[in-house]
Amino acid sequence: MSLALLTIFGSSFVIALSGALMPGPVLTVTVSESARRGAKAGPLMIFGHGILELALVLALLGGLAPFFSRDEVFIVVSLVGGAILLWMAFMMFKELPGLKLRYDHDDQKPRSLVLSGILLSLANPYWLIWWATIGIGYIMYSVKFGVPGIIAFFTGHILADLAWYSLISFGVAKGRNFFTDTFYRRLIGACASFLFVFSGYFFYSGLDRIL
């Protein structure tokens, strides 16, 4: 694998991990279901989540490829994506002191975990915003390297989700002391630092097309 593809894979992994780490509906249900149904909950939730994201990537590539090639689109997406990455980093740093993993769960009837992964992703406005800006920006860059570039991007992206949610499910199933809140906050702090740096790259890429 070339250095460019490794870079796409690695940066896609870390940025996706940064989003997966933050509390949200998918994480909440994963923790709840893992407490009742064991370590399989996380992987099954992400399987549904991944089906939805693969369909979205294919739709974007199939219908919007000519749109992506325009300079003005690249500039707007890069600048907006950089701003959102910067905002994400700021909010992550701001919320660090009070962040903690919640292990409370309810007594609802068993649900389809794969379907839950799909529906909860669709219901999350942040997911739509992410793909409309950062996700499209990554696709625009990755497609320059053809199919291998897209595969590197999507593989890094989905493996980050799978790794984190599998770890969460395993930790909850094995006991609440598997993850400490301090470890959780340090992990988010490291990802926030990466997002701060990468937002600068997005800004640079957009401004470079203008100048």
pLDDT tens-digit profile of 65-108? 566 667 787 788 788 888 887 888 888 888 888 877 665 555 55
Query: Over 60: is that where the pLDDT of 134 sits?
Result: yes
Q: Who has greater pLDDT, 132 or 45? A: 45
190 token code pair: 């490291």
User: What is the DSSP secondary-structure string of 80-149?
Assistant: HHHHHHHHHHHHHHHHGGG---------PPP--HHHHHHHHHHT-HHHHHHIIIIIHHHHHHHGGGHHHH
Structure-derived torsion over alpha carbons of residues 162, 163, 164, 165, reported in degrees to the nearest 10? 40
Q: How far apart are CA 17 and CA 191, in angstroms?
A: 8
Number of structural domains found in the chain: 1
> Which residues span the domain enclosing 59?
3-101+110-210
Provide the pLDDT confidence category of residue 178 given band limits of 50, 70 and 90: low
